[in-house]
Structure 1
C-alpha cells in the first residue's frame, strides 16, 4: 500500500493578487473624510492658521484619484503586489503633503504614518512592507526639518521643543516597526493555520471516503457470500455428475473456479475479517493495526504490546472506528517510522476510565528546543538528510485526535543527544482518552444490512 505525505496537501504558494481594490479605496475615502473634517475644525473652531487652499488641493487630489480608480476598475478587482505598493505609496505621499502644510512632525496626526505600513503588513509580502516602511521613515524624518509652520491667530508658531520632537519621531518609528511586525506575523500565522486546517479537513474527508468505501466493499462481501457459496456447491455437484461429459464438466469447473475468484477478490478488497456493521467497532489492537498498516513494509520493525492497568480491566476495549482516530494515529506512526533507526513500539494501556497509547521510536528524538512547539503547523525543525520533518503531519494528528477528546504530549527518551540511542530511547508521542469517548456502546444484535443512500 502506498501513502501520501501530508505536506503534499498544502496549497501551492503562488503570487496571486491578495489585495482587494475596493478595500483600499474605502480606506482612502475614510482618510479623506477624516482629513477634511480635521482641517475644517482646526480652521473654524481652533483658530489655527495654515494654507487652507493648498490643503484642500491635496485632499482633492486624493478624492480625484479615488474617483478615477472607481471609474476604470471594479471594486472587486484584486491588485498585484506592485499595484498595491503604488496605491499605498500614493497615500504616504499625500499624507506627507498634508503634514508639510500643517506643521510637519509638530502635528500630532503624524501618527497616521503607521497606517499604510500596517495595511501593507497585513496584505503584502515582507519585502513590500519593509520598502514602504523605509520610505515612510524617510518621509517623516524629512518632515521633522522641512515643513510650513502651524500658527495661532496671533501669529505664534506651534512647535515642540527639540527633545520632544526627537521623542515623537522615535515613538512614531518604533510604533510603525512594532505594529507592522505584529500585523505581519499575525497575518502569517493566521494564513498558515488556515492552510493547515484546510489540509486537515482534506485528509479527514479522504479518510472518511476510504472508510465509507471499505464499508461498501465489506457489505458487498457479506451479502454475496451466501450466493457465491451456493454457486460453488452447485458447480461442485455438477462436476461430479458430468464426469462422462468432458465439455460440460470443464464448464462446471470454470464456474466453480470463477466463484472462488470472486470470493478472493471480495475478501482482499474488504480486508478479510471485516463485515458491514461490524466495521463500526473494532478491538483496540485492530484499530492500531489498521493505522500502522501503510507503514508495515518500510523496513522498520513495529512492535506492539497491550495490557490493562488494573485487574478489573482485563478485556481489551472495543472502540468506534473513527476516521479522525485512524488518520491521526497513522500520522504519529509515520513520524516515528520516518525517524526510527530500525524499530518502533506501540504500547496500548487501558483502565476502566482511561485509554493510553504511546508511540516510541529508537531515533534521535525531538530537538529539545522545539518540544514545546510540536503540533504547530509547518514546524520543520526535525530534519535528516533528504527529508523535511512532519510539522504539518503532527499538526493534523494533534488536531484530529483532540477532536475525539484526546490529550497529546510529546517527550524524549532518556538518551537524547546521542547519535543512536538504544532501544526505546528516541521520540515519544502519547495520546490519552477518557475510555467513554472512544468505546463502542451500541451492542445491538446485527441485523440485515441497510441499503446505502445519498
Structure 2
C-alpha cells in the first residue's frame, strides 16, 4: 500500500509555510484599527482615556513591526516557535490595551478571539492550548482589573455585573469552542489536501510506468532486427574462421552476447507495448493485469465473471483504474488467510467488480469511515481488534477510492457472512467485500472506437 510511504504534514511543518511579511501586514491592520478606535473614542464620543499609555502600547507593536521589517529578509518564513511568539505578543498587547480602556466593559474585548483562532488554524495543538490558556487567564483578569471608561463629565461607563459575567463566560466558551472547531476543521482540510497530493503522485507514477513499458517494448521491437543481423553475421564468421581459433572465439562471444541482449529485451518487452490497440482491453484482462504483482504472494486469487447475455465489455486501460484496482487487490491479499476472489459482472448499463477475501473483515466501527485519508483506529472494547492490521492511516484505500471515483466508479465497503452460519444472528463476519460499479458509458470503449482505424504507432522521440 501507499500508507507507509506518505505521512500527513505536522502542524509544526505547516507553520513554517507562513511568511513573516503576512504577519507584519496583519499587525499593521490591527495597529490602524486600534489608532482609529482610540481617536474616535476621544474626539467623537468624548471619552477620557490614558492616551499616553495607549499610544505606548500601540507603539510597541509599531516598533516590533519595524524591527521585523529591517532585521529579517522579506521572504523569511516563520517556524513554529516564532509564529507562536508573534501571536502571543499580539495577544498580550491587546490585553494590556483593553486593561487601559475598560476591560470587558469595552466591546472590543471580542477581538481576544483573533489570536487564538489564528493559532488554531496554523499552529500545533500544544501552541494552541498555550495561547488559549493565556487568553482565558487574560479575560478572567480583565473582568476584575481594568481602568474604567470615563466621559468628559466624569461619568463611568460600565455594564451591570450580570452582563460582565455573561461576557466573561461567553468569551471563555468562544475561545474553547472556536479553537477546537478550527483545529478540527483545519486538520480535516490538511489531511484531505495531503491525501489528494499523494493520490496525484500515485497516478503520475502509474502513468510513468505505463509510458516506460511502452518505450521499453518499442525499443525491444526496433532492436530485434539489428540483433538478428549481428547474430547471423557472427554465425557466418564462426564458420569461416575455423582455422583461426582466437578470432573464432571472438565471433562466438559476439553471437553469445547478441543472444543475451535478445533475451533481455524480450523480458523487458513483457512490460507491454505502446501499440494503440493496447490502450483498451477486455475487462478481465485489465483486472488480471492489476492483480498480477500480487499473484505470487502466497494467497490464491480466483477470477470469475458472470455469464451474461451481454458480451464482455472492452474498457480503456486507464492508469487510475489499474492502480486503484491494484490497491484494492493488494489490500485483500494482505489480509486474506488463504484466498481472494475477484468477481466481475455486467449488463447493458453497468459494469461491476467484487473483491472479497477470507480474512477477518473490516472493523465494524470503521465501515462508515473506510476511504477517509489518514484514518486512525480507536481501540475497541475488549482490547483486541477484529482486524488489527487496520491501524494505519487508510491512505492506500483513499487513493484507490479517489482514483476509481475519478474514472466514474462508485465504491461500497462491507463485510461478508460465513456461509456455514446457522442463522443471520449467529453467523460470524467472514471476509471483507469491496464492490466497484461503473456506468458502462464512463469506462467502456465504444464499438465505433473498437472498429475504427488505429493509425500508426508513434516513433520513439529521444
TM-score for both structures, normalised by structure 2: 0.86
The alpha-carbon deviation at position 327 of structure 1 amounts to 0.6
1:340 aligns with one of 336, 340, 352: 336
CA change 1:393–1:318 in 2 (3 A) is same
Partner residue in 1 for 2:445: 440
2:431 aligns with one of 426, 434, 447: 426
Question: Does the residue aligned with 1:196 lie in a helix, a strand or coil?
Answer: helix
Partner residue in 1 for 2:212: 213
| Pairs within 5 Å for 1:37-436 | 37-225=36-224, 261-271=260-270, 276-308=275-307, 310-311=308-309, 313=310, 315-381=311-377, 388-389=391-392, 391-415=394-418, 425-436=430-441
Question: Which shows bigger deviation, 190-199 or 16-25?
Answer: 16-25
CA change 1:385–1:343 in 2 (3 A) is same
The alpha-carbon deviation at position 142 of structure 1 amounts to 0.5
CA change 1:318–1:227 in 2 (3 A) is farther
In the aligned structure 1, how far is the partner of 2:414 from the partner of 2:289?
25
8 Å contact kept, 1:365–1:413: yes
The alpha-carbon deviation at position 39 of structure 1 amounts to 1.0
In the aligned structure 1, how far is the partner of 2:72 from the partner of 2:239?
86
Cα offsets for 1:373-401 (capped at 9, x unmatched): 11111114397667743600011111111
Question: Which shows bigger deviation, 439-448 or 145-154?
Answer: 439-448
The alpha-carbon deviation at position 360 of structure 1 amounts to 0.8
CA change 1:11–1:112 in 2 (3 A) is closer
8 Å contact kept, 2:41–2:47: yes
Question: Which shows bigger deviation, 172-181 or 263-272?
Answer: 263-272
In the aligned structure 1, how far is the partner of 2:2 from the partner of 2:458?
35
8 Å contact kept, 2:338–2:358: yes
8 Å contact kept, 2:299–2:340: yes
Cα offsets for 1:252-291 (capped at 9, x unmatched): 8777765554443333212278562332122211211111
In the aligned structure 1, how far is the partner of 2:388 from the partner of 2:366?
19
8 Å contact kept, 1:216–1:276: no
CA change 1:447–1:100 in 2 (3 A) is closer
Question: Does the residue aligned with 1:305 lie in a helix, a strand or coil?
Answer: strand
CA change 1:131–1:378 in 2 (3 A) is same
In the aligned structure 2, how far is the partner of 1:298 from the partner of 1:380?
27
TM-score for both structures, normalised by structure 1: 0.88
For structure 1, list consecutive stretches of 5 or more residues without a partner in the other structure: none
The alpha-carbon deviation at position 74 of structure 1 amounts to 2.4
The alpha-carbon deviation at position 439 of structure 1 amounts to 2.0
Question: Does the residue aligned with 1:78 lie in a helix, a strand or coil?
Answer: coil
In the aligned structure 2, how far is the partner of 1:242 from the partner of 1:195?
67
CA change 1:353–1:236 in 2 (3 A) is farther
8 Å contact kept, 2:12–2:124: no
CA-based RMSD of the aligned residues comes to 3.2
Question: Does the residue aligned with 1:412 lie in a helix, a strand or coil?
Answer: strand
Question: Does the residue aligned with 2:344 lie in a helix, a strand or coil?
Answer: strand
The alpha-carbon deviation at position 229 of structure 1 amounts to 6.2
The alpha-carbon deviation at position 186 of structure 1 amounts to 2.1
In the aligned structure 2, how far is the partner of 1:347 from the partner of 1:199?
28
Partner residue in 2 for 1:450: 458
8 Å contact kept, 2:375–2:392: yes
In the aligned structure 1, how far is the partner of 2:287 from the partner of 2:10?
35
8 Å contact kept, 2:140–2:168: yes
CA change 1:252–1:282 in 2 (3 A) is farther
